[in-house]
Amino acid sequence: MEPPTAIKRRLNELGLRSRLRARPRAQGRVLAPAGLFRRLPSAPGLYFPFYHDVLPEYAGDLRHHLETLGRIGPMIGWDEALTLLAGTRPLTGPVFCLSFDDAHLSWRDVVVPVLRELAVPATFFLTTGLVGRPGNLTWADCREIREAGFAFGSHTVTHTRLADRSDAEAGHEIAGSKREIEDELGAEVRDFAAPYGYPGVDFTERDVRLAKESGYRSFATTLRPAMHAGDSPMWICRQGLHPAWPIMAVRTRVHD
Ligand SMILES: [Zn+2]
């Protein structure tokens, strides 16, 4: 049992954190000093940075992040990342595999143009229940993004915390979203990203098993370490970033 002061402190931290999340530039400035003690990666390792919404005012910042990472190592697609995890060829330096979560309209208007300009591949993890809602993509948008050469994975139906759901509900979130994306896009969906993504809190081993049984080949978490050949594709570690963050703040998430 935590003493009341510790609980209070924790609540204050959470309050601060959610206030900062609403103000990403300020959040980046708060994170940046911790980046002093970190360096962007130089050793061999596979990194999976990911973003959510990228509002038009952050297009230049996203480009700056991707150019900075791209100078350190190649940006590869999800298929190739999985072959590196399988050990088909040795990692000789840092490698980056990019993804985006939810169903933001800005993927169409901001993200895809930047990715095409820089020739950076990416996977979009789609929450199917958001598609067609205000501020989100339509299925026609998703088809257009797919036709532009980008990959789609599933990020559940309702963006629920899977750990809180019954077996049947979790099964629907994991398998139902896969089926719906496959029906709408006419392509197999084999990659899954758990909402919130923290093991034991946001999802459990049960959900990894359900994903495997539903035909997924990979399962993404929000644990942050670099990955290497031999690591499980059913436990992908991704580093959540916001384009508004200065590179010093990026260094707190993507580092050796
Ligand atoms: Zn999400």
Alpha carbon of 69 to ligand 1 centroid (Å): 23
Long-range Cβ pairs for the range 201-210 (8 Å, 24+): 201/161, 201/163, 202/161, 202/162, 202/163, 203/161, 203/162, 203/163, 204/162, 204/163, 206/167, 206/170, 207/162, 207/163, 207/170, 207/174, 208/234, 208/235, 210/167, 210/170, 210/171, 210/174, 210/175
Confidence class for position 1, pLDDT limits 50, 70, 90? very low
Residue type for 197, please? Answer: G
Q: What is the pLDDT of residues 50-94, one digit of tens each?
A: 999 999 999 999 999 999 999 999 999 999 999 999 999 899 999
Q: What percent of the chain has pLDDT over 70?
A: 93
pLDDT attached to residue 20: 75
Alpha carbon of 152 to ligand 1 centroid (Å): 14
Angle ∠(46,222,231) on CA atoms, nearest 5: 40
Count CB neighbours of 11 within 10 A. Answer: 10
Alpha carbon of 45 to ligand 1 centroid (Å): 25
Six token digits for residue 113:
């143009």
Residue 200 lies in a domain: yes
Domain coverage including residue 73: 4-250
Which of 61, 57, 72, 63 is closest to 116 using CA atoms?
Answer: 63
Alpha carbon of 164 to ligand 1 centroid (Å): 16
- Which segment of 3-12, 17-26, 50-59 scores lowest on mean pLDDT? 3-12
Alpha carbon of 239 to ligand 1 centroid (Å): 13
Q: What percent of the chain has pLDDT over 90?
A: 87
**Residues 115-128: what's their mean pLDDT?**
98
**Residues 10-14: what's their mean pLDDT?**
61
Which of 194, 201, 207, 208 is closest to 238 using CA atoms?
Answer: 194
Residue 218 lies in a domain: yes
Residue 256 lies in a domain: no
Q: Which residues surround ligand 1, an ion (CB under 5 A)?
A: 101-102, 195
Residue 255 lies in a domain: no
Alpha carbon of 101 to ligand 1 centroid (Å): 5
Q: What CATH code is carried by the domain that includes residue 21?
A: 3.20.20.370
Asked if residue 120 lies in contact with residue 84, where contact means CB atoms within 8 angstroms, the answer is no
Alpha carbon of 193 to ligand 1 centroid (Å): 8
Alpha carbon of 195 to ligand 1 centroid (Å): 5
Alpha carbon of 159 to ligand 1 centroid (Å): 6
Overall number of domains in the chain: 1
Residue 113 lies in a domain: yes
Alpha carbon of 32 to ligand 1 centroid (Å): 24
Residue 19 lies in a domain: yes
